[in-house]
């Protein structure tokens, strides 16, 4: 089956400023794809480019199976939907009037049925007659989400859909994302919330102008950090250099605290037994030896800090 999104060496520049560069990835149908990166990384610009709102500078893409070229913009827009960073609603119109306007604009068939379904999906049936200007930020966000559902898209781009939402509203949006993806909708989700990405996404991409990493959330952690061995001894080693240097697969070590050492290793299955033997030979009381467990946040910060040295695929 053809992927829902297939992006190849896509770049966008605004004059001298590079918004994103040489980005390639694929998203399967019905997948939730998480797009993470710091402010200014190029996430929204990527969404706008794939959503046919702006043209790429170079590279190519298939969106909902259709080549991303200006002639196909209308055809693509029929199959996708974007929930932008800011809702952009008519504040002097009611919720339902807003949705009617957009249903009209998108020429969706059976607008009343679609509107009712979208309102129900975001749990806004009760507030349908309220003016959008009188809604809270989170409720406006939900109206924007309902609007994005009107054309029953194959691919739904959500640009930080839970930013500023309370925990209950966030959970509702998460449940909706999961339900949509189960019904076969492909979700492209930009977010700053790492736990959100980890919970919802099949694949996570980390962008900082260029793609820094791409894979399932669990793989991102191991790819970066399975190579760290944490060693704790009851007392500090008198001569750690003598213990750690020259051991197979151990590349470097540093002190983390009293009797606590962090070793960079190329293969923990070789390093761990060698380190254990060396510590025993040095008469050290070993408290623990183990691969460090790091959160997705550690991975993320490591990746986006490391500007000069894009670690895509580094071992």
Ligand X SMILES: Nc1ncnc2c1ncn2[C@@H]1O[C@H](COP(=O)(O)OP(=O)(O)OP(=O)(O)O)[C@@H](O)[C@H]1O
CA angle 29, 34, 40 (to 5 degrees): 130
Residue 82 or 289: which CB sits closer to ligand X?
A: 82
36 versus 146: smaller Cβ distance to Mg ion: 36
Query: 122 with 177: CB under 8 angstroms?
Result: no
> Which does residue 42 touch among Mg ion, ligand X, none (CB within 5 to 8 A, set by kind)?
ligand X
Instruction: Convert residues 78-97 into a mask of x (bound to ligand X by CB under 6 A) and - (unbound).
Output: -------x------------
Question: Cβ 46 to ligand X, closest distance in Å?
Answer: 7
Question: 294 with 229: CB under 8 angstroms?
Answer: no
Q: Spell out the long-range contacts of 129-137 with Cβ–Cβ below 8 A and sequence spacing 24 or more.
A: 129/94, 129/95, 129/96, 130/94, 130/95, 131/91, 131/92, 131/93, 131/94, 132/89, 132/90, 132/91, 132/92, 132/93, 132/94, 132/95, 132/98, 133/91, 133/92, 135/95, 137/164
Residue 76 backbone dihedrals phi, psi, to 5 degrees? -65, -45
269 lies in the site for ligand X, by CB under 6 A: no
By beta-carbon proximity to ligand X, the closer residue of 39 and 288 is: 39
Residue 51 binding target from ligand X, Mg ion, none, CB below 5 to 8 Å by type: none
Span near ligand X by CB under 6 A; candidates 38-46, 75-83, 212-220, 252-260: 38-46
Interface pick for ligand X out of 5, 33, 42, 233 (rule CB under 6 A) = 42
230 SS3 class: strand
Among candidates 226, 157, 162, 224, which has minimal Cα distance to 194?
Answer: 162
Residue 45 binds to ligand X (criterion: CB under 6 A): yes
Which CB atom, from 47 or from 279, has the smaller least distance to ligand X? 47
Query: Measured from the CB atom, is 44 or 52 closer to Mg ion?
Result: 44
- Tokens 């959503």 locate to 51
- Give how many residues touch ligand X by CB under 6 A: 12
- Closer Cβ to ligand X, 19 or 145, answer by number: 19
CB of 43 vs Mg ion, minimal distance in Å: 5
Distance of alpha carbon 177 from alpha carbon 167, whole angstroms:
15
Tell me if 204 contacts ligand X by CB under 6 A.
no
CB of 210 to ligand X, least distance (A): 12
Query: Phi, psi at residue 121, to the nearest 5°?
Result: -60, -35
- Is 44 among the residues that bind Mg ion (CB under 5 A)? yes
Kind and range of the H or E element at 113?
Answer: helix 111-121
Residue 19 interacts with which of Mg ion, ligand X, none, CB < 5 to 8 Å by class: ligand X
d(CA 234, CA 12): 54
If binding is defined by CB under 5 A, does position 52 make contact with Mg ion?
no
Binding residues for Mg ion, rule: CB under 5 A, are: 43-44
Binding residues for ligand X, rule: CB under 6 A, are: 14, 17, 19, 37, 39-45, 85
């Amino acid at each position: 089956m053809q992927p829902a999104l297939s992006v190849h060496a896509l770049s966008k520049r605004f004059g001298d400023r590079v918004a994103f560069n040489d980005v390639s990835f694929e998203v399967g149908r019905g997948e939730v794809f998480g797009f993470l990166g710091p402010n200014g990384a190029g996430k929204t610009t990527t969404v706008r480019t794939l959503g046919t709102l702006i043209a790429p500078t170079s590279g190519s893409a298939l969106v909902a199976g259709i080549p991303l070229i200006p002639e196909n913009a209308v055809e693509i827009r029929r199959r996708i939907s974007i929930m932008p960073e800011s809702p952009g609603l008519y504040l002097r119109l009611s919720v339902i009037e807003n949705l009617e306007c957009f249903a009209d604009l998108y020429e969706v068939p059976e607008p009343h049925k679609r509107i009712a379904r979208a309102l129900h999906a975001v749990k806004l049936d009760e507030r349908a007659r309220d003016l959008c200007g009188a809604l809270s930020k989170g409720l406006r966000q939900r109206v924007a989400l309902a609007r994005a559902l009107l054309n029953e898209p194959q691919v739904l781009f959500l640009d930080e859909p839970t930013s500023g939402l309370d925990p209950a509203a966030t959970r509702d949006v998460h449940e909706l994302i999961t339900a949509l993806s189960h019904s076969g909708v492909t979700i492209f989700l930009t977010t700053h919330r790492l736990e959100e990405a980890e919970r919802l996404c099949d694949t996570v991409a980390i962008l900082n102008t260029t793609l820094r990493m791409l894979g399932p959330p669990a793989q991102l952690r191991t790819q970066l950090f399975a190579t760290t061995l944490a060693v704790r001894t009851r007392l500090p080693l008198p001569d750690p250099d003598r213990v750690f240097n020259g051991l197979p697969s151990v590349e470097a070590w540093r002190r983390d605290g009293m009797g606590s050492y962090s070793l960079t290793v190329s293969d923990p299955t070789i390093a761990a037994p060698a380190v254990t033997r060396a510590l025993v030979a040095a008469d050290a009381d070993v408290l623990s030896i183990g691969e460090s467990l790091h959160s997705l946040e550690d991975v993320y910060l490591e990746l986006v800090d490391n500007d000069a040295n894009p670690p895509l695929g580094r071992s």
